[in-house]
Amino acid sequence: MPAPGHSAPPAQATGGSTAAKLVRQIGLFDATMLVMGGIVGSGIFINPYVVARQVHTPVLILGAWVAGGVVAMLGAFVYAELADRMPEVGGQYAYLRSAYHPALGFLYGWGLLLVTETGGMAAVTITFARYFRELTNVPFSERAIAVIALAVLTIINCLGVKLGSRVQSALMLLKIAAIVLLVGAGFLLLRAPRPLFRPVLDQKPSFDLLTAFGAAMIPVLFSYGGWQTTNFVAGEIKEPRRSLSRALVIGVAGVIVLYLAVNLVCVRALGPTGLADTTVPATAVMRLVMGNRGAALIALGITISTLGFLSQSILTAPRVYFAMAEDGLFFRGVAYVNARTRVPIVAIVLQSVWTAVIALSGRYDQILNYVVATDFVFFGLTGTCLFVFRRRETAGGESRASFRTPGHPFTTAAFVLACWVVVANAIYKYPANSLIGTLILLLGVPVYLLWSRHRKVRTAA
């Protein structure tokens, strides 16, 4: 394991008699598109109605999205400094492993593979399949379309990180175009806009209002989540200390602008009540201003957006399982890097196969219920890694990062606190789901002990 604060050498894996390494081929633009692509999925087209069902005035609805954007930017700052300090493959896994213990890094990767990444991917895959089938009327079932989409994107990403990142960048640009279409149509073609700033509150300030706002923040922060996944591919980004930190800040700022614009349009067009009454707010807005043609256009945009999210997930997350295998904490074959394409194809295929299993089982909705608390526990823990590295830096055991989180330690503490408030609220509102997510994580403890023992035996031999 590399010394804290220092970059590891390029990851290496052996397949047969051929040794191959991951190579740095992703530039600043593609890295920025990866950041945005990891955040923007189908959620922004759908989740505004979930927020409106929790809080019922334009100010509170938009306030929740503003607050979520602030938390996301604080997180981007923290992860930018972590990326500068440890520009290694694996991202959060590497930070948790180096700051605390390999067991914590393993549990993060364990949850990522079993629940948080693959469960989300399965749900998005089915969403893509539904929209694609409605748009094209192809004679295939949703499940068949989902498997085909996963297979195609898996093959693309197995052909090389440069091709995968360029496909992802193209899809992200198309997503931006779809959002611009929605926002432009909503502002320019809407004839009877609803008021944006009244009323401020629909009830007196109370604990119930506070918990309702906290509940509204769960889908908001879930929609903003994903900026951290680009850190997984730090080992394949050109000049990662400079490019990755910039990509995180630029990408998150861009998404905040897009998200606030979408929600302004939704509230302005539908009002809080109308927004809460529809489960397809983007479609409702486009149908209101452009009729059925507008609804079809936004359906195409959502289809592209879901495909782009899947592409980004297939490109980034497998690097965590690769890093775990490199450390001897997972199947050795998962660390295999193809000598020609220079990508961890076994890790990529493993994730896609498990995603397909979840999608075909029809259990992805239940799995998603366990994601939020689990995800934000690790977000908060990763934020605390910065305190550990800064303390080591003061003690002389850590190199100074060129990117420094603005306002640290206050902004870092605010990010960590926000993450754990979300966890506490999720436990309060959904105790059964939170308990199941915790149990899934705890099941990883004996698995870690098994792999750790196996690694010691193999090292001794």
List pLDDT tens digits, range 64-84.
999 999 999 999 999 999 999
Least confident segment among 188-197, 318-327, 360-369, 398-407: 360-369
**Cα separation, 436 vs 443, whole angstroms:** 11
Long-range contacts at 342-347 (CB < 8 A, ≥ 24 apart): 342/20, 342/21, 342/22, 342/23, 342/25, 342/160, 342/161, 343/22, 343/157, 343/158, 343/159, 343/160, 343/161, 343/164, 344/13, 344/22, 344/318, 344/319, 345/158, 347/318, 347/319, 347/321, 347/322
Assess whether pLDDT exceeds 70 at residue 369.
no
Mean pLDDT value of segment 297-317:
93
- Give the torsion through C-alpha atoms of 361, 364, 365, 369, to 10 deg: 130
Instruction: Read off the pLDDT of each residue in 250-258 and give the average, rounded to a whole number.
Output: 95
Nearest residue to 229 via CA among 314, 115, 355, 342:
314
Task: Give me the residue spans of the domains in the chain.
Answer: 24-453
pLDDT digits (tens, 9 = 90+) for 143-182: 999 999 999 999 999 999 999 999 999 999 999 999 999 9
pLDDT at 8 over 50: no
**Integer Cα distance of 169 and 263 in angstroms:** 24
Reported as type and span, the H/E element at residue 355 is helix 345-361
The mean pLDDT value for 8-18 works out to 37
- Judged against a pLDDT cut of 90, whether residue 433 lies above it is answered with no
Q: Report the C-alpha dihedral over residues 405, 43, 418, 37, rounded to 10 degrees.
A: -20
> Do residues 305 and 297 lie in contact, with contact meaning Cβ atoms separated by under 8 Å?
no
pLDDT of residue 397: 66
Q: What is the mean pLDDT of the chain?
A: 87
**The pLDDT value given to residue 287:** 93
Assigned token pair, 15: 């397949």
Any idea which of 49-58, 331-340, 390-399 has the lowest mean pLDDT? 390-399
Confidence band for 19, pLDDT divided at 50, 70 and 90? low
Predicted confidence at residue 52, as pLDDT, reads 93
Q: Give the closest residue to 371 by CA, choosing from 110, 120, 106, 43.
A: 120
CATH number belonging to domain 24-453: 1.20.1740.10
Q: What is the mean pLDDT of residues 392-420?
A: 87
Residue 9 has pLDDT above 70, yes or no: no
pLDDT at position 57? 92
Query: Which one is predicted more confidently, 399 or 328?
Result: 328
Q: What is the pLDDT of residues 316-328, one digit of tens each?
A: 999 999 999 999 9
Tell which wins on pLDDT, 243 or 195: 243
**What is the per-residue pLDDT for 349?**
97
CA angle 159, 164, 166 (to 5 degrees): 130
pLDDT at 3 over 50: no
State phi, psi for 18 to the nearest 5 degrees. -105, 125
pLDDT of residue 368: 64
Rounded Cα distance between 419 and 441, Å, is 18
Place of tokens 């308990």: 435
Helix (H) or strand (E) holding 14: strand 12-15
